[in-house]
């Protein structure tokens, strides 16, 4: 978990003394300081900017307490947010004086939260000193500049009954990332059943990373409801969460989870210089919640600027004022009592009043906050050693876990067997637990005799429950399980109560969804499942953890200070809740009982040359019961996704060649999720193995790390820029891995530059990873070898060297490392798929490590993973870049429009060992066919003209013909018969002699003229032969006034066609 230690109070020299004011002053209730004479301070710069938050007092607190008690005993039901504001929030007449006072002291950007509990403002140190009658001093804390008040924070007495707390006057907050990461860990539940350390009872125990599927098995989610009807939340800070959401999507794809809706509620501006150090924390939170819940209605990040109290309180308040999420996670804490490990003087206490008010607001509305209990055992984490309990530090619990208005979640070491079934848990040796020195025991804990000291001291006891946190012995040692998550695009193993709390959120989301979100605040419900509430009694459905210690307290029967009531057996807790009366209300249908909708995915342009843009649509999706479809999650099949609430899905451009399976799942308003609907998208072009230098699959930003140990201790030799994989023709039978680091001007000793990978359906021995590496730990000159890596029982990485890499392996001073592997070493063949590709730089131990020494594999310096697997295509296919050759023929090349032509590409050829698989015809008239598998197509040319038709083909490897085959297609204009222009048809002839004139027509090669007394007759005149003339004079025409029938014949394409006319003879 993230820890921050707040140090408030110091002895000062040469302080600015606020000017005397007429009004009297009263101290605020929280953050009363005491003096530490050993801390050297100076006045803080008067012009330094401060962002403060003034917390106001709730109204009718006694009534609120009674209401909250009524929620527990069933006499009350959760209220709306509007009702809470009306009954308990400060009134506008109480808020306005605070706003006016801050404005009068020069503060700007004054804002009031919707529930009237917080007033935020921006000012300077000088303005704050005047406003709160206290000097603010600068000092050095852990080598960094810090500032804090040097005397009690005060407000005018007129505001004393309104203002409860002022936050933001100190930045003395030390954030310690307690996430310990192990890259390339043995991931259980994904593709293997390898376990280690059989127990005495014959069950297998393991040290491994647990996927969400394995965790759902271990904690017995079974056939219980998913979390699909419940909105969950995570408090996050420091960055824009772009990478965190990308990691969540990768995690969902890797673990075959639904793509859930995600919202970011930005409660304070993202810093101009983002702090991404917490992204691994928010990765763990979001992935652990959704993984155990399987699905949720929505995941909301309440994202703030930093882990300072003045920023965090805005996130907690937004959770309550929105009143959308039913359960939220806080994986951070600060010490209630802080002792400096060197000075041994009391530095002050944390006043948590404003947070407690906001947490109570959430409870009143039926919401739950879950908080990590800490990663320093019974001692607050002033000094931490990678999850090892501190020595010599007095007992102390952490806030907000110690708040009576949240669920405090401790840690266990979880053990599973080869089927991932639950075996046992130990109290995690670094899990936070103990008795608060400040917070009162809530009534549901005070009356529970199973909780030691709660009734006798009246103080809050921590934790309430526990979930998996990590192996016994901390990072890199011991036995137990890790969280298998994705951090910065790579698989990582993570431990800490930062894992425990979001697991609780995921479990509770399932139970809330099963009851249509009617459970409300979690903690008192859990305590009610202990119906005896006597020493040693247990809560129904929970695993009672009996062994283990956190440094001061030991686990034992029933509730204890290490694990509370223990961990969820979700199915048993679900049943216990039903037995206790916590049943689903009438008409409530859990997501797992709602009929699933049906997804339908349409795609245009399924086959084409890279870059290929494909349009998608899910409008054909439906629900059998007519429920609304609320979410469309589209996996494009290349590591990219789209998640939205409407069916008009975004188009996507595919760059990587090969066949990608796009997959759509839809969710209905009942939380049920459809089976996937798929479309195969074939992207043609040069296969990855034929690209010069290999296809770049892996990318890392120089100077950024995804492991807590990552520091540039190798002068740039450990900073990865990029990596690639390829099968160049120049090295037949070889697979080439290329890595680029900043430089290798000097090869640092004690390092390993490696590529890890798995082979699909063929895991490495011991469920490890195959590797190729350049190693400088075995001597002054680097060596190049290959083998596989496993993790031993002590948690150390073991490198089993199988042989040396090809002599072509090398490095250059610019930082390029080329690792050439004989494919025969791992029996690799064309078509094999490499997965979980990862380029890593590590400090290293000798390769012949036996596991009997205390040395380990070393620390990860930087790693970068590839989402897209690599499919071997063979070196020979690239020998001459032998593209297929298109050959186009046609059933005819000339004809009269409309001219129907069959175009044929079946004569096209491919290189030896390949075959022509795809055809695309361009008809030359502005239209073309889509890529198709049939070699023929028919097309009709409607307009006259000469067109150039062309054909491109692609082979079964995806290679496209270098040039098109073309044909000229001529569509002639259709023939038109000649027509008489004079005399005008139907008119009276001029006499016994008449000249007939006609136009040429179209496609006419000769003419003939007939005159007769009957239609079609020629008894008056018959031109004796075909003429090319367009006029003839006919003589000896009778002049009796009768009808004359005239036929003009046109000779077209070897046949006569005619037009008939009638005229009137002249009469005398």
Q: What span, in angstroms and rounded, lies between the C-alpha atoms of 207 and 870?
A: 28
86 φ, ψ (degrees, to nearest 5):
-65, -35
Return the CATH architecture of domain 594-684: Sandwich (2.60)
Angle, alpha carbons 857-859-865 (nearest 5°): 100
What is the Cα–Cα distance from 592 to 584, expressed in whole angstroms?
13
pLDDT in tens, 821-873: 999 999 998 878 888 787 877 665 444 333 333 333 444 445 555 545 777 87
Q: What is the DSSP string of 342-363?
A: TT--EEEE---HHHHHHHHHHH
**What DSSP letter does each residue of 578-596 carry, written as one string?**
HHTT-PPPTT---GGGSPP
Q: 373: burial class by Cβ within 10 Å (0-12, 13-18, 19+)? A: buried
The 8-class DSSP code of residue 535 comes to: T
Predicted pLDDT of residue 493 = 76
Q: Which of 498, 777, 844, 950 is catalytic?
A: 498
Please pick, among 281, 356, 398, 574, the residue that the annotation labels catalytic.
281
Q: Tell me, what's the pLDDT at 564?
A: 97
Q: Is the peptide bond before 983 cis (omega within 30 degrees of 0)?
A: yes
Whether residue 965 is predicted with pLDDT greater than 70 in this model: the reply is: yes
> Max Cα separation, the chain?
145
**Per-residue pLDDT tens digits for 772-793:** 999 886 555 789 999 988 765 4
Q: Please give the full DSSP string across 261-295, using - where no structure is assigned.
A: -EEEEESSPPPSS--GGGHHHHHHHHHHHHHHHS-
- Identify the pLDDT of residue 1048: 97
| 281 in catalytic set | yes
Crossing angle of helices 353-364 and 309-322, rounded to 10°: 10
441: DSSP letter: P
Helix axes 81-88, 353-364, angle to 10 degrees: 130
Q: Are 396 and 460 in contact (CB under 8 A)?
A: no
Average pLDDT of 197-207?
29
Average pLDDT value for the chain: 83
Contact between 974 and 934 under an 8 Å Cβ cutoff? The reply is no
Res 709 pLDDT > 80: no
Q: CA dist 862 to 231, 254, 321, 739, 846, Å?
A: 35, 21, 41, 12, 19
| 699, β-bridge pairs | 722
Cis status of the peptide bond prior to 340, with omega within 30 of 0: no
What pLDDT is recorded for position 5?
Answer: 31
The separation between CA 239 and the C-alpha centre of its own chain, rounded to angstroms, equals: 15
pLDDT of residue 719: 72
Burial of residue 821 (CB within 10 Å: 0-12, 13-18, 19+) is buried
Tokens describing residue 664: 């759509």
Please check the confidence at residue 255 and state whether its pLDDT lies above 70. Answer: yes
Q: What is the pLDDT of residue 135?
A: 92
pLDDT tens for each residue of 212-236? 998 999 999 999 999 999 999 999 9
CA quadruple 791, 797, 798, 803: dihedral positive or negative? positive
Per DSSP, 499 falls in state H
Q: Name the band, by pLDDT with cuts 50, 70 and 90, for residue 457.
A: confident
Place of tokens 């409870």: 363
- 739 with 812: CB under 8 angstroms? no
pLDDT (mean) for 264-286: 94
- Among 415, 445, 413, which Cα is nearest to 431's? 413
Write down the catalytic residue from 129, 220, 252, 285.
285
545 pLDDT higher than 80: yes
Q: Is the pLDDT of residue 80 over 80?
A: yes
Residue where the block lists tokens 């008009």: 648
For residue 242, what is the enclosing H or E element?
helix 242-254
What's phi and psi for 663, nearest 5 deg?
-135, 130
Q: Is 422 exposed, middle or buried (0-12, 13-18, 19+ CB in 10 A)?
A: middle
pLDDT at 912: 77
DSSP 764: P
- Phi, psi angle pair for 830, to nearest 5°: -55, 135
Query: Quick one: pLDDT at residue 791?
Result: 60
Calculate the CA 368 to chain-centre distance. Answer: 24
- Look at strands 173-177 and 542-543 and give their pairing: unpaired
pLDDT at 394: 55
- Burial class for 780, CB neighbours closer than 10 Å (0-12, 13-18, 19+): exposed
Dihedrals phi, psi of 901, to nearest 5 degrees: -130, 140
Write the DSSP symbol of residue 932: B
CA atoms within 13 A on the CB side of 137: 25
Q: Which CATH number fits domain 178-220+227-341+350-579: 1.20.210.10, 3.30.365.10, 3.40.50.360, 3.40.50.200?
A: 3.40.50.200
Position 953 confidence tier, pLDDT thresholds 50, 70, 90: very high
Given a cut of 80, whether residue 197 has pLDDT beyond it is no
Domain residue extents for the chain: 2-176, 178-220+227-341+350-579, 594-684, 694-859, 889-972, 980-1064
665 contacts 601 by C-beta, under 8 angstroms: no
Q: How far apart are CA 499 and CA 975, in angstroms?
A: 82
CA dihedral 455, 459, 463, 465 (to 10 degrees): 40
Q: 150: helix, coil or strand?
A: coil
pLDDT in tens, 493-514: 788 899 999 999 999 999 999 9
CA distance 467 to 490: 24
DSSP 117: S
pLDDT score, position 794: 41
Domain 889-972: homologous superfamily in CATH: Immunoglobulins (2.60.40.10)
Instruction: For the chain, give the percent of residues with pLDDT over 70.
Output: 82
> Mean pLDDT lowest for which of 212-226, 649-663, 721-735?
721-735
Q: End-to-end CA distance of the chain: give it in Å, rounded.
A: 122
N residues, the chain: 1068
What pTM value is reported for the model? Answer: 0.76
pLDDT of 769 reads: 84
Query: What is the distance of C-alpha 189 from the center of its chain?
Result: 20
Q: Is the predicted pLDDT of residue 419 greater than 90, yes or no?
A: no
**At residue 114, does pLDDT exceed 80?**
yes
Residue pLDDT, tens place only, 23-72: 799 998 765 443 354 567 889 999 999 999 999 999 999 899 889 988 88
pLDDT on residue 716: 58
Confidence band, pLDDT 50/70/90 cuts, at residue 191:
very low
Q: Which residue has the tokens 């006609």?
A: 998
Look up 285 and say whether it is catalytic. Answer: yes
CATH topology of domain 980-1064: Immunoglobulin-like (2.60.40)
Residue 912: left (phi > 0), alpha (psi -120 to 50), or beta? beta
pLDDT digits (tens, 9 = 90+) for 123-151: 999 999 999 999 998 887 666 788 888 88
pLDDT of residue 4: 33
Confidence of residue 279 (pLDDT cuts 50, 70, 90): very high
Q: Do domains 889-972 and 980-1064 have the same CATH topology?
A: yes
Query: Residue 2's pLDDT band (boundaries 50, 70, 90)?
Result: very low
Q: CA-to-CA distance for 153 and 9, rounded, in angstroms?
A: 11
């Amino acid at each position: 978990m993230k820890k921050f230690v707040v140090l408030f109070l110091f002895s000062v020299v040469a302080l600015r003394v606020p000017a005397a004011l007429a009004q009297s002053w009263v101290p605020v209730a929280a953050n009363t300081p005491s003096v530490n004479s050993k801390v050297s301070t100076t006045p803080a710069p008067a012009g330094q900017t401060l962002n403060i938050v003034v917390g106001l007092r709730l109204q009718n607190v006694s009534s609120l307490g009674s209401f909250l008690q009524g929620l527990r005993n069933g006499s009350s039901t959760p209220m709306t947010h509007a009702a809470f504001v009306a009954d308990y929030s400060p009134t506008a007449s109480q808020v306005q004086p605070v706003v006016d006072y801050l404005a009068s002291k020069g503060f700007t950007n004054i804002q009031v939260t919707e529930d009237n509990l917080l007033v935020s403002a921006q000012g300077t140190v000088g303005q704050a000193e005047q406003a709160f009658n206290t000097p603010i001093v600068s000092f050095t804390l852990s080598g960094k500049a810090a500032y804090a008040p040097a005397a009690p924070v005060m407000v005018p007495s007129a505001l004393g009954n309104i203002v409860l707390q002022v936050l933001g006057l100190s930045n003395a907050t030390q954030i310690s990332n307690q996430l310990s990461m192990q890259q390339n860990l043995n991931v259980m539940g994904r593709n293997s059943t390898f376990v280690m350390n059989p127990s005495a009872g014959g069950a297998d125990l393991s040290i491994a990373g647990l996927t969400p599927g394995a965790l759902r098995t271990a904690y017995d989610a079974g056939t219980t409801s998913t979390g699909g009807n419940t909105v969950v939340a995570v408090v996050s800070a420091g960055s824009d969460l772009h990478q965190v959401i990308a990691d969540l999507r990768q995690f969902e794809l890797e673990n075959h989870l639904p793509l859930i809706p995600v919202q970011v509620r930005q409660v304070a501006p993202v810093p101009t210089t983002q702090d991404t150090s917490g992204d691994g924390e928010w990765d763990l939170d979001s992935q652990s919640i959704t993984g155990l819940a399987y699905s949720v209605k929505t995941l909301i990040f309440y994202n703030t600027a930093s882990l300072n109290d003045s920023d965090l309180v805005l996130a907690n308040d937004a959770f309550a004022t929105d009143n959308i999420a039913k359960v939220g996670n806080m994986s951070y804490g600060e010490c209630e009592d802080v002792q400096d490990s060197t000075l041994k003087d009391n530095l002050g206490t944390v006043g948590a009043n404003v947070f407690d008010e906001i947490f109570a607001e959430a409870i009143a509305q039926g919401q739950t906050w879950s908080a990590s209990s800490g990663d320093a055992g019974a001692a607050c984490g002033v000094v931490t050693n990678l999850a090892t309990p501190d020595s010599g530090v007095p007992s102390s619990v952490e806030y907000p876990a110690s708040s009576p208005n949240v669920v405090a979640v401790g840690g266990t070491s979880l053990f599973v067997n080869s089927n991932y079934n639950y075996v046992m848990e130990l109290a995690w040796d670094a899990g936070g637990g103990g008795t608060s020195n400040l917070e009162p025991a809530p009534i549901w804990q005070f009356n529970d005799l199973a909780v030691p000291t709660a009734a006798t001291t009246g103080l809050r006891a921590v934790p309430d429950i526990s979930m998996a946190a990590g192996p016994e012995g901390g990072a890199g040692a011991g036995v137990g399980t890790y969280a298998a998550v994705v951090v910065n695009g790579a698989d990582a193993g993570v431990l800490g109560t930062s894992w425990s709390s979001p697991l609780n959120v995921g479990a509770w989301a399932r139970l809330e969804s099963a009851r249509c979100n009617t459970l409300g605040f979690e903690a008192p419900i859990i305590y009610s499942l202990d119906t005896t509430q006597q020493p040693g009694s247990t809560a129904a459905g929970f695993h009672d953890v009996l062994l283990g210690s956190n440094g001061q307290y030991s686990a034992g029967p029933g509730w204890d200070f290490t694990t509370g009531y223990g961990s969820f057996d979700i199915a048993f807790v679900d049943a216990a809740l039903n037995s206790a009366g916590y049943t689903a209300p009438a008409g409530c249908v859990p997501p797992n009982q709602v009929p699933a909708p049906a997804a339908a995915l349409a795609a245009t342009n399924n086959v084409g040359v890279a870059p290929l843009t494909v349009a998608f649509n899910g409008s054909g999706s439906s629900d059998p019961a007519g429920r609304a479809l609320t979410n469309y999650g589209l996996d494009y099949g290349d590591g990219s996704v789209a998640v939205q609430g409407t069916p008009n899905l975004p188009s996507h451009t595919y760059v990587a060649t090969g066949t990608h399976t796009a997959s759509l799942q839809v969710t209905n308003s009942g939380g049920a999720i459809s089976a996937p609907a798929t479309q195969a998208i074939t992207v043609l072009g040069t296969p990855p193995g034929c690209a010069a230098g290999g296809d770049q699959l892996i990318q890392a930003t120089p100077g950024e790390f995804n492991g807590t140990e990552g520091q540039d201790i190798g002068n740039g030799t450990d900073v990865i820029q990029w990596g690639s994989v390829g099968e160049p023709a120049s090295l037949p039978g070889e697979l080439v891995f290329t890595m680029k680091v900043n430089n290798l001007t000097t090869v640092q000793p004690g390092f390993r530059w490696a590529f890890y990978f798995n082979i699909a359906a063929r895991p490495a021995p011991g469920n490890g990873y195959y590797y190729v590496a350049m190693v400088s730990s075995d001597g002054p000159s680097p060596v190049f070898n290959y083998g596989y890596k496993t993790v031993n029982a002590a948690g150390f990485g073991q490198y089993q060297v199988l042989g040396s890499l090809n002599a072509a392996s090398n490095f250059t001073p610019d930082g390029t490392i080329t690792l050439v592997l004989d494919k025969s070493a791992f029996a690799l063949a064309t078509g094999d798929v490499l997965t979980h590709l990862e380029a890593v730089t590590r400090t290293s131990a000798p390769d012949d490590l036996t596991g009997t020494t205390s040395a380990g594999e070393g620390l990860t310096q930087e790693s970068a993973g590839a989402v897209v697997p690599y499919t071997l295509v063979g070196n020979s296919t690239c020998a001459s870049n032998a593209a297929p050759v298109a050959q186009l023929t046609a059933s005819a090349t000339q004809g009269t429009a409309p001219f129907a032509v069959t175009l044929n590409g079946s004569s096209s050829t491919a290189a030896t060992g390949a075959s022509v698989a795809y055809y695309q015809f361009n008809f030359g008239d502005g239209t073309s066919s889509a890529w198709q598998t049939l070699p023929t197509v028919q097309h009709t040319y409607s307009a006259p003209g000469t067109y150039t038709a062309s054909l491109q083909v692609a082979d079964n490897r995806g290679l496209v013909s270098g040039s098109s085959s073309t044909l000229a297609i001529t569509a002639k204009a259709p023939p038109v018969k000649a027509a008489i222009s004079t005399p005008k048809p139907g008119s009276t002839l001029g006499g016994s002699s008449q000249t007939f004139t006609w136009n040429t027509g179209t496609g006419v090669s000769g003419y003939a003229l007939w005159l007769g007394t009957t239609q079609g007759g020629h008894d008056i005149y018959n031109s004796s032969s075909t003429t090319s003339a367009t006029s003839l004079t006919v003589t000896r025409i009778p002049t009796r006034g009768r009808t004359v029938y005239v036929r003009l014949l046109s000779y077209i394409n070897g046949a006569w066609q005619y037009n008939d006319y009638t005229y009137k003879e002249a009469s005398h």
